[in-house]
Structure 1
């Protein structure tokens, strides 16, 4: 009997633990409040380890099994994933206010001065203030049009650069990245940090571009400390904290230098203001009714600089890759562009061109999961109960591939938009590459204008062929979804 009790005392707790573990792994309990469906999860970690390098693809597969609304668990944090246009509409329109907050993030706090930018700032009075600055002063239609000469000059410089290498393989990804970097540098910071005539700044610019690449990559990382606080020490051991701190320091030194340089000279509207000038003018004149501090200026500039460069170049890169992959579509687009495109105004008349842009945004959403949201109170979505404090991800990439919305959803087919009024400006939830509602992207007009001019110019001026046998269409990682392998092509000037 004593021996039996000894083994009983040893194995019964083990049996209970195994039973508990089995229930955690292989059951998806639903609470009495009718929560959304949830797949099996690991103890403590929840679903974090299942995300992989491409969470948007993982969520897309889950939606096929569990439906358009799924409740996951990242450590101690509930995470709602929406993968249908109906779910996105309820979140971004019907209950937009309830879903307008941002989750607190250690990474964005470090990189963006305590999230003092417009993209990651928590919902509240400060966010409303900085967003009004962006909408009314930095990114209004009038302001976007005022930078037309910059876009046209840099686009022509891109054409000249490509012509210098005609007949030889060129890294089109790099050229598109430099184009967008040069445009946003001039618009936001007042000058480029590298030109062909000023070669001594080339290494500096490469350093800056490297910092921006790291920034984009880190913003796409799921920081374990945000979801399981008692495991935050892991980031100190593996060097992740040091990496974030180093990047934050180097970015701040660059942006601080830019702001300090602008502070020495007070410019007027007639002088041609860049975005730093405008922010410093707002700070000096205090016209908006609240003080704007140095850290806010630097955070907003970093927002504009990164989003303006990476989102636009990503869309251009995928558009060119798909056109080269689909020569019939390329030929049809060339016929339209080369017939109609003489000035910027002609772009509005090119229906097939507009359809190619929309199809690229559908098929290759530049920010596949948009930016995360957080509920500020309990709410019902599609009949399911969602608790306050739940983090929310809207799978824009998955919605763009939804076969219930898009016929032959895995094919690149611009024709689908020729007789459709669906647009990407936040009113049609089948196509939301820039988000929608209060937290939609305020820089949409600036980004699209840049993309349209660059793409139309490339198609008009050159014929393109692959420099390699096979076109790799795999995705890279990060908060924006660029090509994993750069697009290397041979460009031939169009014969008039």
Structure 2
């Protein structure tokens, strides 16, 4: 359910259409899954990146080239469709009145046509950006929502508190920013289950010494955000899901506090953090408001399985199976 919702939301943002309404998007999504699976799996090519022979023997290079070629054809067709629609409009720079309803492809084509960046901006750059939106903007927040729901089912007293807050706010027609406890739940979820356990690799530009460690120039540096979030030097009872730990704490996940960096930090932090957080908050709030959630027969919260499966993202090892019970609010007459 979460994956389907994620691809639908991302499709609407990127292309202005839900996945079910666009045949090209339906063709694209399985290829995106292939890319994510390849990136997350073990490959000898990673151990011997300079060896062409290893790439040929494992077929890794050939497989990626085929997927890339197929993705390129689909994205080129999507861009062409958008460009054709814009050309039939009365104004190519304002194909939709006041930008209303524009999707990401429309915006990128406007930048290309108007040369807003002052540098060459071609379809190749547009395709790369669209691909990044799907690679980083779908699975990351759907995985976060799945882990949040898992932790809430594992810790029913936290679920009760979060649900009471959401329903009180929704019934009084207050705003989403009036959900402080839900924000704590999201923070604690990111601490234990960062969207990507290993941040995007970096390379040192020069030789530096950090905390007594000599790091030569051109060293590939990989930061383990998953381990940092569970480091007992920074967290009390690090394996326990305890949202209240963030009460009266200034620690946040926006890159200023290095003990909690699920989205990275600095200039190279994830650019989609605000988009992702907004979607997570909206989805979680709606799930908690509209339904009471139960575990399947015979399963208790004590023996609820929380096993992890490692890859580019740390997902649940087994599917999350829950029973939704519609919530009907009782309004006083």
Task: Assess same fold via TM > 0.5.
Answer: yes
Paired with 2:180 and 2:252, the residues of 1 have a C-alpha distance of: 13
- Partner residue in 1 for 2:138: 309
1:183 aligns with 2:16: no
Contact 2:45 2:60 in 1 (8 A): no
Paired with 1:451 and 1:343, the residues of 2 have a C-alpha distance of: 21
Q: CA deviation at 1:327?
A: 0.8
Q: CA deviation at 1:328?
A: 1.0
Aligned residues: 316
Q: CA deviation at 1:312?
A: 0.8
1:403 aligns with 2:232: yes
Aligned with residue 258 of structure 1, among 66, 70, 78: 78
Residue ranges of structure 1 left out of the alignment (5+ in a row) = 1-174
TM-score by length of 1: 0.61
- Partner residue in 1 for 2:285: 456
Paired with 1:341 and 1:471, the residues of 2 have a C-alpha distance of: 29
Paired with 2:223 and 2:20, the residues of 1 have a C-alpha distance of: 38
Aligned in 2, Cα 1:226/1:238: closer, same or farther, shift over 3 Å?
Answer: closer
- Structure with more relative contact order (C-alpha pairs < 8 Å, separation 6 or more): 1
Aligned with residue 232 of structure 1, among 45, 52, 55: 52
Paired with 1:442 and 1:289, the residues of 2 have a C-alpha distance of: 21
Paired with 1:343 and 1:281, the residues of 2 have a C-alpha distance of: 41
Aligned in 2, Cα 1:229/1:309: closer, same or farther, shift over 3 Å?
Answer: closer
TM-score by length of 2: 0.89
Which protein shows a greater Rg? 1
1:420 aligns with 2:249: yes
List aligned pairs for 1:262-273, cutoff 5 A: 262-266=82-86, 267-268=95-96, 269-273=98-102
Aligned with residue 478 of structure 1, among 311, 315, 333: 311
Aligned in 2, Cα 1:391/1:222: closer, same or farther, shift over 3 Å?
Answer: farther
SS at match of 1:478: coil
- Partner residue in 2 for 1:367: 196
Aligned in 2, Cα 1:466/1:440: closer, same or farther, shift over 3 Å?
Answer: same
Q: CA deviation at 1:240?
A: 2.1
- Tell me the C-alpha RMSD between the 2 structures: 2.0
Paired with 2:235 and 2:55, the residues of 1 have a C-alpha distance of: 42
Contact 1:224 1:231 in 2 (8 A): no
1:218 aligns with 2:218: no
Paired with 1:455 and 1:299, the residues of 2 have a C-alpha distance of: 30
List aligned pairs for 1:307-456, cutoff 5 A: 307-341=136-170, 346-456=175-285
Aligned in 2, Cα 1:296/1:344: closer, same or farther, shift over 3 Å?
Answer: farther
Aligned in 2, Cα 1:366/1:284: closer, same or farther, shift over 3 Å?
Answer: same
Paired with 2:172 and 2:48, the residues of 1 have a C-alpha distance of: 54
Contact 2:76 2:127 in 1 (8 A): yes
Aligned with residue 68 of structure 2, among 228, 233, 248: 248
SS at match of 1:301: helix
Paired with 1:381 and 1:490, the residues of 2 have a C-alpha distance of: 50
SS at match of 1:264: helix
C-alpha offsets along residues 262-285 of structure 1, whole Å, 9 cap, x if unaligned?
Answer: 110222443421111111111111
- Partner residue in 2 for 1:143: none
Aligned with residue 492 of structure 1, among 322, 325, 330: 325
Q: CA deviation at 1:438?
A: 1.2
